[in-house]
Amino acid sequence: MTAPTTHGATTHAGGNEHSHDQDHGHEHAHGHELPFWRKYIFSVDHKMIGLQYGLTALVFLLVGFSLMMLMRWQLAYPGRPLGWVGKLLGENAMPGGVMAPEFYNQLGAMHGTIMVFMGIVPLAVGAFGNYVVPLQIGAPDMAFPRLNMASYWAFLPGGLLMIYSFFMPGGAAQSGWTNYPPLSVLTQVPGQTMWLFAMVLLITSSLLGSINFIVTIVQLRAKGLGFWRLPFFVHAQFVTSFLLLLAFPPLEAAAVLQLMDRLAGTSFFLPTGLVVSGEQLKVAGGGSPLLWQHLFWFLAHPEVYVLILPAMGIVAEVIANNTRKPLWGYRLLVYSVIFLGFMSFVVWAHHMFMTGMGTTMSTFFQTTTMIISIPSVIILTCFLMSLYGGAIRFTTPMLFATAFLPMFAIGGLTGLPLGLTASDIYLHDTFYVIGHFHYVVAPGTIFALFAGIYYWYPKATGKQMDPTLGKIHFWLSFLCMNGIFMPMFFQGMAGLSRRLYDPTIYAHGRAIQSLNVVISWSAWGLFLAQLPFIWNFFSSLARARAVENPWSATTLEWAAPSPPPHGNFPTPPVVYREPYEYSVPGQTSDFHPQFAGEA
């Protein structure tokens, strides 16, 4: 086949819709000839890459969750042997079936790393971004399909190396997911070095992806799709991509510097006169451990918004669709999300109030932290106002999306005391912090991601997921999530520190140990609550085909067949109106799609 290059070139030189059409026909004719490994493994199709990201990320989420379930055993029943599981994990990790402290630290560090960098971000951005964004803007694919493939193939080895580090001598990284030096530099296990290598790969993957998203959204929108007609999900992904693009490189730099410290013996993060085990360390010194914290949080605070913005995008789509009315304050939402993006770059040091960086710095970062809560509240308020007066359909995605609102609100509001130094000095590094950010990310973001899976599953497969199993999944997850994270606020306010191997060594820990038992059983219950989801996810593939556009949605992805073929749209779609024209007076149906021409 030699024709398409010139064919493609003339198409683009002409640039009109008609010749695009021919191109599509061309591709369809040859789409079946793709060998297995080009179609499913080294695919350049954004939908396949999105599914690859999604399935990989779901597996990693389960792995990260399993690590936490192990930790919860030690926290609920400190020092009690764990039967056959302990035997399975071997004498190094669980001597005599009892968890070793080093192993506990590995589980803690890797739980955070896996959940954030290998679970949520790839699912929220890699999977939903890849699958949905080109469809919602009416594009045939991402702007750079091979770059897209490279992005996945940087992510997967990064993730696998991270998992592999558990099997290296001495085990995986064990200095927390934040990898603070000097501890992280001085920990003499190769897994710690592997953490840095794997992070460089994961960061590279995100960078490639973010460039691709921005170019796609700017250059490849369908005819008539101006910025004020983009679905809110696309706006959220657009801002997220800028955060990834600009915030990740400093962490990449920091990872390289820490690699130098570990491998070449430099002292970027090692101060002068560091004494370890009674002996002065033989390094040049002169470095600054705080420098790592600044570089790390310069990434990791925008990263929080990388975790939450796509979730807000999904919730917006689901709420508009299931309330059957336009989103309340669409422009306000867009302005807020852009403002959030900007502000997220100037709040990072609120993670560092306890480092003694000075009151001037603290005042600045307290102020910016209070300011950044304003757009978050605006977004949440817009969502609540969208519910008001709607004809709400409580479908499975809508259950998750409505639950997102109070869960994210709890997570956000409990963050305010942490953003002010006076209260943060007491609450810092306690379980209160764990409760706070998990409310944002677990019942917040993960619920939104579940909403997205239920909502777009018919798009990707042509089948509907079972609603009864979906409701069971939702209600059990909702109960267990709150059973896990709500008691953590009380633990934190009682002064219980995070990262404690055995909370009962302190009297104040013993007094509230019963809460740890409640949390652990809720965590194991949460695992059981995911079984209906896993079953539903696979068994629904065997269900009868759903109708096209089963949710009666207005956005462009529903103009394509389900699942969309290579090239997505049979004819390039044209956009006639704003994204959420539901229940428009005078219309015969209660939705008026963006892509439907005037009658």
Partner 1 sequence: MAEASPYAADALIPHTVEPHPVTGIPNGKLGIWLFLASEVMLFGALFSTYVVIRTTAPHWPPEGGLSSEILNVPLATVNTAVLITSSITMVLSWASLKMQNLPRFRLWLGSTIALAFVFLVIKYFEYTHKFELGHYPSHDNFYAVYFTLTGLHGVHVIGGIIVNTFLLTAGSRMWATEPERFTNRIENAGLYWHFVDLVWIFLFPSLYLL
Residue 73 CB, shortest distance to partner 1, in Å, is 40
- What element of type H or E holds 595? none
Which of the stretches 9-17, 313-321, 362-370, 381-389 binds partner 1 when contact is defined by CB under 8 A? 9-17
Q: Which of 88, 284, 377, 528 binds partner 1 (CB under 8 A)?
A: 284
Coil, helix or strand at residue 550: coil
Q: Which of 249, 406, 495, 565 binds partner 1 (CB under 8 A)?
A: 249
Residues 452-511 that bind partner 1 (CB under 8 A): none
* Separation of CA 451 from chain center: 14
Do the Cβ atoms of 394 and 412 come closer than 8 Å?
no
Which of the stretches 206-214, 328-336, 441-449, 584-592 binds partner 1 when contact is defined by CB under 8 A? 206-214
89 vs 260 by CB, closer to partner 1 = 260
Does 253 participate in binding partner 1 (rule CB under 8 A)?
yes
Does 543 participate in binding partner 1 (rule CB under 8 A)?
no
Contacts of 122 (CB under 8 A, 6+ apart): 53, 56, 57, 60, 155, 159
103 vs 296 by CB, closer to partner 1 = 296
Residues 292-321 that bind partner 1 (CB under 8 A): 295, 298
Q: Which of 3, 422, 542, 544 binds partner 1 (CB under 8 A)?
A: 3
β-strand partners of 582: 591
Which of the stretches 3-11, 56-64, 366-374, 429-437 binds partner 1 when contact is defined by CB under 8 A? 3-11
Name which of 352, 345, 303, 353 is nearest 113 in CA terms: 303
Residue 222 CB, shortest distance to partner 1, in Å, is 10
74 vs 258 by CB, closer to partner 1 = 258
What SS3 string covers 385-447?
HHHCCCCCCCCHHHHHHHHHHHHHHHHHHCCHHHHCHHHHHHHCCEHHHHHHHHHHHHHHHHH
Q: Residue 501 carries which DSSP code?
A: S
Residue 513 phi/psi, 5° resolution? Answer: -60, -30
The site map against partner 1 for 143-182 (x = CB under 8 A) is xxxxx-----------------------------------
Q: Which of 59, 62, 163, 211 binds partner 1 (CB under 8 A)?
A: 211
Do the Cβ atoms of 99 and 70 come closer than 8 Å?
yes
Residues 26-55 that bind partner 1 (CB under 8 A): 26-27, 30-31, 33-34, 38, 44-45
82 vs 246 by CB, closer to partner 1 = 246
Q: Residue 568 carries which DSSP code?
A: S
CA distances from 153 to 46, 122, 147 (A): 13, 12, 10
Q: Which of 83, 90, 101, 286 binds partner 1 (CB under 8 A)?
A: 286
Residues 229-248 that bind partner 1 (CB under 8 A): 245-248
Q: Which of 68, 115, 120, 207 binds partner 1 (CB under 8 A)?
A: 207
Task: Give the chain's length.
Answer: 599
What SS3 string covers 319-363?
HHHHHCCCCCCHHHHHHHHHHHHHHHHHCHHHHCHHHCCCHHHHH
26 vs 577 by CB, closer to partner 1 = 26
Which of the stretches 231-239, 250-258, 421-429, 539-547 binds partner 1 when contact is defined by CB under 8 A? 250-258
Instruction: With CB under 8 A as the rule, give the number of residues binding partner 1.
Output: 69
Does 417 participate in binding partner 1 (rule CB under 8 A)?
no
55 vs 256 by CB, closer to partner 1 = 256
Q: Which of 212, 402, 414, 520 binds partner 1 (CB under 8 A)?
A: 212
**Taking the CA atoms of the chain, what radius of gyration do you get in angstroms?**
25
Tokens representing residue 487 in the block: 């008691």
Cα gap 3→429, rounded to integer Å: 63
Q: Residue 588 carries which DSSP code?
A: S
Residue 87 CB, shortest distance to partner 1, in Å, is 43
306 vs 401 by CB, closer to partner 1 = 306
Does 209 participate in binding partner 1 (rule CB under 8 A)?
no
Q: Which of 189, 214, 469, 496 binds partner 1 (CB under 8 A)?
A: 214
Q: Which of 126, 375, 444, 567 binds partner 1 (CB under 8 A)?
A: 567
Which of the stretches 92-100, 278-286, 445-453, 525-533 binds partner 1 when contact is defined by CB under 8 A? 278-286
Q: Which of 107, 132, 196, 257 binds partner 1 (CB under 8 A)?
A: 257
Q: Which of 73, 166, 268, 439 binds partner 1 (CB under 8 A)?
A: 268
Cα gap 454→449, rounded to integer Å: 9
Contacts of 53 (CB under 8 A, 6+ apart): 122, 123, 126, 127, 130, 152, 155
Region for 495 from its dihedrals, namely left if φ exceeds 0, alpha if ψ lies in -120 to 50, beta otherwise: left
Does 219 participate in binding partner 1 (rule CB under 8 A)?
yes
Residue 406 CB, shortest distance to partner 1, in Å, is 36
Does 5 participate in binding partner 1 (rule CB under 8 A)?
yes
Contacts of 544 (CB under 8 A, 6+ apart): 463
Burial 494-522 (b: 16+ CB within 10 A, else e): ebbbbebbebbeeeebeebbebbeebbeb
Residue 18 CB, shortest distance to partner 1, in Å, is 13
Residue 460 CB, shortest distance to partner 1, in Å, is 18
Cα gap 52→120, rounded to integer Å: 14
Name which of 451, 316, 308 is nearest 387 in CA terms: 316
355 vs 583 by CB, closer to partner 1 = 355
Does 566 participate in binding partner 1 (rule CB under 8 A)?
yes
Cα gap 469→453, rounded to integer Å: 14
Residues that bind partner 1 (CB under 8 A): 1-9, 11-13, 15, 20, 23-24, 26-27, 30-31, 33-34, 38, 44-45, 139-141, 143-147, 207, 210-212, 214-215, 218-220, 245-250, 252-254, 256-257, 260, 264-268, 283-284, 286-288, 291, 295, 298, 566-567
